[in-house]
A and B are shown apart, each in its own frame.
Chain A
Amino acid sequence: MNWTPEELQAIIDEHDVVLFMKGTPSEPQCGFSNRAAQVIQQLGVEFAAVNVLSDARAIPSICAWSDFPTMPQVFINGELIGGSDIALEMLQDGSLKEMLDAGRQ
């Protein structure tokens, strides 16, 4: 894994729900990443979690590629929805589930 735009795109093409986070869902290394993982798990669907602390190149590469400055980042159907604040807001208002159910546009 070299964190190229092509590799990152392949991950979000392959998985409908992708979470780029600090640590892992079972061992999160940041409160915001933990919150995002909790939100995603409440969707009750399979998701891919990528630990951005596994390689020093990960965070700068992902942030440049997605044009979003912070971690975590949540992708639904290949589209960035935002960080843990937006993920929680969209879980609570039901739009996260709606977006997932609507499938890829």
Chain B
Amino acid sequence: MVSSSWVQEEVLKALPEATVEVIDLHGSGDHFHVRVISESFEGMRPLQRQRKILDVMKAHIPHPIHALDLKCMTPQQAQTAGETAFDPHGNGQGIHRHRLQRLKEEKQ
């Protein structure tokens, strides 16, 4: 189990100038949604962008990090991206986090 701030620091080792947002999807310290925003992604394909991050993070997968949902975007893309977090365990099928929250609120 690791903390969101630990994940953030690790990602920053790969791209020190990036903006890094980390969500601990289950509060269990092993499933994370990570949004990385960097000017340096401009002109790179999605996999090239992720490889920059994975070069550092792959040492931590599958332990202690079991799941890493990565969104790598340029500042321009981030402006229009909206909510990107995705929970892979919602009803066992994967569901967007916002919807999960809404369902919980509707039940209450």
The total of interchain contacts (Cβ-Cβ below 8 angstroms) comes to 50
Q: Are A85 and B69 in contact (CB under 8 A)?
A: yes
Residues of A within 8 A of B68 (CB): 70
B61/A34 in contact, CB under 8 A: no
A30 to chain B: which residues have CB within 8 Å?
88, 94
B24 CB–A CB distance under 8 Å: no
What secondary structure prevails in chain B residues at the interface with A? mixed
Residues in B whose Cβ lies below 8 Å from that of A31 = 86-90, 92-95
From known contacts A69-B54, A82-B47, A89-B46, infer whether A34 and B93 are also in contact, taking CB-CB under 8 Å.
Answer: yes
**What 0/1 pattern do residues 44 to 84 of B give for CB contact below 8 A with A?**
00110010001001100110000111110000000000000
User: Do B61 and A69 have beta carbons less than 8 Å apart?
Assistant: yes
Interface residues of A toward B: which range? Answer: 10 to 19
**Interface flag for A32 (CB, 8 Å):** yes
Known contacts A70-B67, A85-B70; is-contact A32 B47 (Cβ 8 Å): no
How far apart are the CA atoms of A82 and B48 in the complex, in Å? 9
A32 lies within 8 A of B67 (CB): yes
* CB of A90 within 8 Å of the partner chain: yes
Separation of A34 and B89 alpha carbons in the complex (Å): 10
Is the pair A35, B57 in contact by a Cβ cutoff of 8 Å?
Answer: no
* Chain A residue, CB-CB nearest to B89: A31
Assembly CA distance A40 to B86 (angstroms): 18
Q: Which residues from 73 to 103 on chain A have a C-beta closer than 8 Å to any C-beta of chain B?
A: 80-86, 89-90
A80 vs B54: C-alpha distance in the bound complex, in angstroms? 14
Name the one of A35, A85, A90 contacting B71, with C-beta atoms under 8 angstroms: A85
A85 to B69, CA, bound (A): 6
